[in-house]
A = this chain, B = another copy of it.
Amino acid sequence: MFNLIPKEVRFYDYFEQQSRNLVRAGALLRELVYDFPDARAKAHAIKEVEHQGDQITHEIVKRLNTTFITPIDREDIHDLATRLDDVLDYIEAAAERLVVYRIKEPTSACRAMADVIVQIIAATDRCIHCLRAMDPGFHEHAVEVNRLENSADTLLRESLAALFDEGGDPIDVIKWKEIYETLETVTDRCEDVANVIEGIILKMA
């Protein structure tokens, strides 16, 4: 019996470890857009973090297959692992695009978006840390995640409107639109993580 319990608890450890990867990737993305000459190295570092994240996701799924009793429903553990992985994927996609599309200099909208991403990941991280104790303090952090997702959405709309108004090179408009949308999707995926956790906590109640 005491053999099974540590096994169970490990799922929380994995989620918290994955959440640290999100925090790390978010910080790197922010550094990338504020210190752009070094963008390629930062994008590479994000790719590394994303690979480590994949390992954790695979480890969680493997453990699910060999653990008889899980602290939360197996399908919810699987769902949460998948959603956390999605956040990393989109951070990596945004970083990669900034490099591959030969951007000269990130716009201020792009930097503002990276700031929101750092904040929403911090709030998501607080949600994750509520899971172990099914802490009702969760809801406050979930509200913060929602608020930040809304603010990213507003930022996206305003940035696009400004981009259209400036009437620059259409190809540049297409590039930036794509990058802004990818950055905004990072915040959507954080909201998905908060939603899955909300679902789990409701089930447990």
Contact at A171–B173, with CB atoms within 8 Å? yes
Is residue A161 within 8 Å, beta carbon to beta carbon, of the partner chain?
yes
Given contacts A153-B93, A171-B170, A174-B173, contact A161 B202 (CB under 8 A): no
Is residue A1 within 8 Å, beta carbon to beta carbon, of the partner chain?
no
Question: Inside 8 A of A35's CB, which chain B residues have their CB?
Answer: none
> A100: which of B65, B96, B157, B167 is its contact (CB, 8 Å)?
B157
Interface residues of A in 33-84 (CB under 8 A from B): 61, 64-65, 74-75, 78-79, 82
Interface residues of A in 125-158 (CB under 8 A from B): 136, 139, 153, 157-158
Contact at B74–A205, with CB atoms within 8 Å? yes
Given contacts A61-B198, A64-B202, contact A170 B174 (CB under 8 A): yes
Contact at A202–B82, with CB atoms within 8 Å? no
Question: Inside 8 A of A170's CB, which chain B residues have their CB?
Answer: 170-171, 173-174
Question: Inside 8 A of A65's CB, which chain B residues have their CB?
Answer: 136, 202, 205
Is residue A10 within 8 Å, beta carbon to beta carbon, of the partner chain?
no
The distance in angstroms between the C-alpha atoms of A199 and B77, with both chains bound, is 10
Given contacts A82-B195, A153-B93, A167-B171, contact A178 B202 (CB under 8 A): no
**Whole-angstrom distance from the CB of A73 to the nearest CB of chain B?**
8
Secondary structure at chain A's binding surface: helix, strand, loop or mixed? helix
Number of interface residues of A (CB under 8 A): 37
Contact at A157–B78, with CB atoms within 8 Å? no
Question: Interface of A with B (CB < 8 Å)?
Answer: 61, 64-65, 74-75, 78-79, 82, 93, 96-97, 100-102, 136, 139, 153, 157-158, 160-161, 164-165, 167, 170-171, 173-175, 177-178, 195, 198-199, 202-203, 205
Q: Ordered nearest first, which 6 A-B pairs have the shortest CB separation?
A: A170-B170, A100-B161, A74-B202, A75-B199, A64-B202, A78-B199
Would you mind naming 22 contact pairs between A and B with Cβ atoms under 8 Å apart?
A: A61-B139, A61-B202, A64-B205, A65-B205, A74-B202, A74-B203, A74-B205, A78-B198, A78-B202, A79-B199, A96-B157, A97-B157, A100-B158, A102-B161, A102-B165, A167-B171, A170-B171, A170-B173, A170-B174, A171-B173, A173-B174, A174-B177
